Amino acid sequence: MEVMSTILQLKQFIYHKKEQKQTIGFVPTMGYLHEGHKSLMQKAKSECDIVILSIFVNPLQFGPNEDFEVYPRDINRDLQIAKDVNVDVVFSPSVEEMYPSEVYTKVSVSNLTSRLCGASRPGHFDGVSTVVMKLLNIVEPDKAYFGQKDAQQVAVIEQMVFDLNMNVEIVPCPIVREKDGLALSSRNVYLNDDERVQAIKLFEALDQSELWIDEKNVTIEELERHLYDHITSAPLAMIDYIEILSYPDLQPIEGNDSVSQLLAEKEIIIALAVKFGKTRLIDNRIYSNNTMNVKRQPDLGGIVYV
């Protein structure tokens, strides 16, 4: 496995691999790798000749009062994990390498970013789409892998690729969870013991939503109330948002139809963002008319939604 920190080095490597007609899979991350990241790398490895992992904590996507400075980092541990999964190259540039001067050009995807994390974190998705555009231009992969844990991010990146006729296939990958259901996240390390116990309420609420939809025949409003009541039964939970929108266009759904009726026509997403102390957790579940299958993946140590 090669570790590279300059764009030139990486471009030269890729130029040679493309000359040899090798396909390239790309997994962009901010590091502090866990099984969720690992599942993306494994999928890339199974579908492409060469896998490139980037580790870059992107300052552009953090707000002024967010956790850029303290975002967890452990490059040596990350390199070992990448090596274990047979990644070919880890690209780990400095902030100066990625942004050598003030950024004049940004990529901004409208509409899809006005709700959910786009509303709670102004400027966040401009930072994400700009860095992903830069990375995709540097790596020029055949396929790029993103987790459905960040479902809004997947929708935004897919839209950007579509709108700008980019030559890459975006591959959404299922959410990987802890054994008790908590979605894996680099930020989970911030949780203290009490917060960690109560954080399970997000998954429980999503899990019970299936029952509320199928058996109780709830409307969107009723479902939101059930989710709210369940999550706020954890005394430490501070709701940022609980929203049910159409997916992937992320628009509010009008009318008083039951959710199960709505599912005959469209996919919906239940999206949650909840703070426990200083830690903001997100999770979601996407429903379509052929309701999600749940299957255990013992090798990942968790539950994966497919």
Q: Which of residues 32 and 212 has its CB atom nearest to ligand AMP in the complex? A: 32
Residue 246: what residue type? S
Q: Quick one: which of 4, 14, 24, 30 contacts ligand AMP (CB under 6 A)?
A: 30
CB 249 within 8 A of CB 115: no
Q: Which of residues 30 and 273 has its CB atom nearest to ligand AMP in the complex? A: 30
Q: Quick one: which of 4, 24, 37, 209 contacts ligand AMP (CB under 6 A)?
A: 37
Q: Which stretch binds ligand AMP (CB under 6 A): 45-53, 99-107, 176-184, 254-262?
A: 176-184
Instruction: Residue count of the chain, please give it.
Output: 306
144 binds ligand AMP (CB under 6 A): no
CB 123 within 8 A of CB 107: no
25 binds ligand AMP (CB under 6 A): no
Q: Quick one: which of 38, 121, 124, 149 contacts ligand AMP (CB under 6 A)?
A: 149
Q: Quick one: which of 184, 250, 282, 303 contacts ligand AMP (CB under 6 A)?
A: 184
Q: Which stretch binds ligand AMP (CB under 6 A): 85-93, 177-185, 201-209, 223-231?
A: 177-185
CB neighbours (10 Å) of residue 186? 19
Q: Quick one: which of 78, 88, 142, 150 contacts ligand AMP (CB under 6 A)?
A: 150
Q: Which residue's C-beta sits nearest to ligand AMP?
A: 147
Q: Which of residues 174 and 220 has its CB atom nearest to ligand AMP in the complex? A: 174
156 binds ligand AMP (CB under 6 A): no
Whether 230 is catalytic is: no
Q: How many residues bind ligand AMP (CB under 6 A)?
A: 17
As a whole number of angstroms, the distance between CA 148 and CA 14 comes to: 27
Q: Which of residues 200 and 253 has its CB atom nearest to ligand AMP in the complex? A: 200
43 binds ligand AMP (CB under 6 A): no
Q: Which stretch binds ligand AMP (CB under 6 A): 45-53, 97-105, 180-188, 278-286?
A: 180-188
Q: Which residues contact 281 (CB under 8 A, 6 or more apart)?
A: 183, 185, 187, 188, 199, 202, 272, 273, 274, 275
Tell me which residues touch ligand AMP (CB under 6 A).
29-30, 36-37, 39-40, 146-147, 149-150, 173, 175-176, 183-186
